Amino acid sequence: MTSYNCVILTGKVVTPPQREYRPDGSPVIQFPLELNDAKSIPGPKNQNWILVVAVGELAEYDLDLLQSGQPLMVVGRLHQRRWKTPEGIQRTRMEVVATEFRTVEKNPIET
């Protein structure tokens, strides 16, 4: 059986990304993408976003287009990152490793 791991998400950039470089020199950016209107969903605001990570050529994307509030479509794959804290606590986080970004126009009906 063949399995596929592909997601397409639309949302708003929460905070603009900063470009960093790995030890091998390859660029990487990451930023949270808000998936729902946080005001209409009960609970902590941080449950309404997912971290988007881009590496390599896609991380050279024009960061001026990824400002806070910018509507964005992200195509990529889900990835679960696991690590241990210095205190020995196991942590996990779901993130999207992006393969494509597309800025989208704001919906004129949206408030």
Q: Find the mean pLDDT for residues 71-84.
A: 94
User: Average pLDDT, whole number, for the chain?
Assistant: 86
Q: Find the mean pLDDT for residues 16-26.
A: 92
Residue 41 banded pLDDT, cuts 50, 70, 90: low
Which residue from 4, 3, 15, 1 is spatially nearest to 76, judged by alpha carbons? 4
Residue 109 banded pLDDT, cuts 50, 70, 90: low
Kindly report the pTM of this predicted structure. 0.81
pLDDT for position 37: 59
Q: Is the distance from CB of 7 to CB of 96 less than 8 angstroms?
A: yes
Q: Find the mean pLDDT for residues 97-105.
A: 91
**pLDDT at position 108 over 70:** no
**pLDDT at position 44 over 80:** no
> Which H or E run includes 78?
strand 71-84
**pLDDT at position 64 over 70:** yes
The fold of 7-103 is: OB fold (Dihydrolipoamide Acetyltransferase, E2P) (2.40.50)
pLDDT for position 106: 67
88-103: b (≥16 Cβ within 10 Å) or e = eeeeeeebbbbeebee
